[in-house]
Structure 1
Amino acid sequence: MIHVFSTCGILYAGEDKWSVDPRVSLVTLNQEEFSIKIENVDMTDEGQYICAVQTSSKPRTTSVHIIVQVPPKIMSLSKDIVVNEGSNVTLMCSASGKPEPSVTWKLLSPSGHGLSSDDEYLEIPAITRQRAGMYECTAVNEVSTDVQTVELTVNYAPSVVEGKDVGVTLGQRGVLQCEADAVPQADFEWYRDDRRIFNGFDGIEIEDDGALSKLTFFNVSEADYGNYTCVAINKLGAANTSIVLYGESSTC
């Protein structure tokens, strides 16, 4: 007679099933070969299994130890985060699995400002705008890999591209342009000397499109010539640049 034991007790005595687990079954290959089949293996199935065969002389036993491997799963991950430039940032990623998975961090950056860590924690002191982006946490063991991402947004005060003076003939269309780099996106204000210009003021149109603001004169007059200031503003600060609109002689 054959007996099959596990760390939880007797599974089979002969062909009589003692285990109440429906996942476990005895497979008889022939009179001398027997197998135990366990479906949908989980961690509770790990341990030593003993097969004992009763012969006329003495019982013979053999054993096998089952090690259950578990794919990695990221259990805890930092949420998407928004910080101001210069802040110290810590991203955390913990994972479970068997064997214990290794955890790595990587900044997915096409700009070449790569950043990585071979630890659950990624420390970024005095963060700069170049370190903003999508951070990827990877947990890997012998079974498989789990990957999740965190988006890190870095706020910073506006900086503006130096304005270019524009020459326009009387009666022609003229456009002054102001470009700003900022997070959050900057709001624009235009001034003539110390007086703010509003959209539609004296036939002037102001059009903002993301990081670019345009001040358009549809019919330049002598009074339009002069110095204009563009100011870019967000909650962290402001920056400005000056642009001169000047007369340009017409050519015949």
Structure 2
Amino acid sequence: MRVIGLIILSVAATYAGNGVNQFIPQVVDSINVEVVQEKNTGYLNCTMVLEESQMNQASWYYGDKQISIGTKLLEPVRIGLYGMEKYQARFFPGRPDFAPNMPGVNVDRLQTYQLEVRFADITDNGRYRCVLEIKSLPRHLWPEAYGDLIVTQAPIILPGLASKIVDEGDSLTWVCKAQGSAAPRVSWTRANGRPLNLPGSPQRIYNETLHIPKVNRFDRGIYRCHAANNVYGSTEYDVMLEVNYKPQIRLARYKGAYGQKSDSNYDVIMECIVNGYPDPDLLWFKGIYDPKINNIPLYDSAKYELEKTRSYGAVGTNVTDVISLLKVKNIRESDYGNYTCMAANRYGSEMTVTYIFYQSVCQGPICPMLGATDMVT
């Protein structure tokens, strides 16, 4: 892509000095803006009218730094990839194919003074200056032209983002810094597509900073920073948010009541679904838990079998849920009654009570609830 840039022209002239006509070189055209993808080569073309003996008066500058005089690169010579020189300055006779006609210009003296910028990167972005350093003229009258080199770069998310663990109720701030050319636009989403915990419940915000004033347990999960420009598309970076909170229990089936016939080699499997972070310890007690008189948990034995498993988002559960199972084997009359499921971590504890009741018509290992009454006292 080429865009006509700033034009600074000097007038072709000869002047008489001690009776001798001397040709004054000129810059006779603007330098087109050069847009180049990162790691490729950019070319800046400065069209001049000058004689061959005057070529050493031409120079390229980047900012205040002089790159070349004539075809000679000035020290220190910048080295690019593979040990090659970063720049090359050279002359071509005539003008570039894309240059317009130039009425009144001596085309026999036209030269294109080209600066080649190899392995272009973001540090090469900026304005370059082509100058004819005519020592017989005051510096402010030296012919010159300016041209811009624009290096397009894919978005890059800069280091600094990290996953976090916060307590429920605390605030959270992430700042996602990105660079690229054109400058990328940064946005935040949740990887699972759920709304952000912000006013209006947006699914995406366009900002480097994601700030949640008061985090709750439902904010747990993966958050995604997106950086996009109109050159290379987008890039992403994921961070994980864990929220510390006390356990929360809910009962999975039969509203906590399990019917079963006794003395028929039937079992009962009771479920307790728990959510909390850090992952809570899970315990079962026969009867209603009491820290003084009923505080001995159940363990695997000939009568009981305990299992802990993650739900992995099974139907009716959250992906972070943990399921605690208590199997009471070969139900006897003495097994009827209350059972306590308890979950505890360093942020607190919670418990719930379920029970097994007599059911005379059970034909399988798990029976549906048939109008049981609450046995919790």
How far does residue 135 in structure 1 lie from its aligned partner after superposition?
A: 1.8
Taking every aligned residue pair, what percent have the same amino acid on both sides?
22
Local SS of the residue matching 2:162: coil
Q: 1:24 to 1:80 in 2, by over 3 A?
A: same
Q: Distance in 1 between the 2:175 and 2:297 partners?
A: 48
Q: Distance in 2 between the 1:111 and 1:146 partners?
A: 20
Q: Distance in 2 between the 1:159 and 1:131 partners?
A: 15
Q: 1:127 to 1:45 in 2, by over 3 A?
A: closer
1:174 is aligned to 268
How far does residue 183 in structure 1 lie from its aligned partner after superposition?
A: 2.2
How far does residue 122 in structure 1 lie from its aligned partner after superposition?
A: 1.5
1:214-229 → structure 2 map (5 Å cutoff): 214-229=325-340
How far does residue 127 in structure 1 lie from its aligned partner after superposition?
A: 0.8
How far does residue 206 in structure 1 lie from its aligned partner after superposition?
A: 1.5
2:211 is aligned to 123
1:6 paired to 2:60? yes
2:102 is aligned to none
Aligned length: 246
Q: 1:132 to 1:51 in 2, by over 3 A?
A: same
1:136-215 → structure 2 map (5 Å cutoff): 136-141=224-229, 143-144=231-232, 145-162=234-251, 163-170=255-262, 171=264, 172-193=266-287, 194=289, 195=294, 196-201=296-301, 203-210=303-310, 211-215=322-326
Query: What 5-or-longer segments of structure 1 have no aligned partner?
Result: none
Q: 1:93 to 1:19 in 2, by over 3 A?
A: same
Structure in which a larger fraction of residues adopt strand: 1
User: Is the CA contact 1:99–1:142 (under 8 Å) kept in the aligned structure 2?
Assistant: yes
Local SS of the residue matching 1:136: strand
User: Is the CA contact 2:157–2:176 (under 8 Å) kept in the aligned structure 1?
Assistant: yes
User: Is the CA contact 2:124–2:151 (under 8 Å) kept in the aligned structure 1?
Assistant: no
User: Is the CA contact 1:189–1:231 (under 8 Å) kept in the aligned structure 2?
Assistant: yes
Query: Structure 1 counterpart of 2:307, which letter?
Result: E
> TM-score w.r.t. structure 1 length?
0.81
1:243 to 332, 341, 354: 354
1:36 paired to 2:115? yes
Bigger radius of gyration? 2
**Cα deviation digits, residues 132-187 of structure 1 (max 9, x gap):** 22222233445544432221111222221134211111132222221112222222
**Cα deviation digits, residues 194-227 of structure 1 (max 9, x gap):** 4334223562112222311121122111111111
Query: Structure 2 counterpart of 1:207, which letter?
Result: E
Q: Distance in 2 between the 1:45 and 1:200 partners?
A: 70
User: Is the CA contact 2:195–2:203 (under 8 Å) kept in the aligned structure 1?
Assistant: no
How far does residue 97 in structure 1 lie from its aligned partner after superposition?
A: 4.4
Q: Distance in 1 between the 2:183 and 2:356 partners?
A: 67
User: Is the CA contact 1:4–1:49 (under 8 Å) kept in the aligned structure 2?
Assistant: no
Query: Structure 1 counterpart of 2:68, which letter?
Result: L
Q: Distance in 2 between the 1:45 and 1:5 partners?
A: 19
Q: Distance in 1 between the 2:205 and 2:347 partners?
A: 30
2:374 is aligned to none
Local SS of the residue matching 1:67: strand
Local SS of the residue matching 2:145: strand
1:49 paired to 2:132? no
1:105 paired to 2:188? yes
User: Is the CA contact 1:175–1:215 (under 8 Å) kept in the aligned structure 2?
Assistant: yes
**Cα deviation digits, residues 94-126 of structure 1 (max 9, x gap):** 234455544322222334555543333221011
Question: What's the C-alpha RMSD, in Å, of the aligned pairs?
Answer: 3.1
Local SS of the residue matching 1:223: helix
**Cα deviation digits, residues 28-87 of structure 1 (max 9, x gap):** 543544333221234257333316499xxxx99562322344634333433110112111
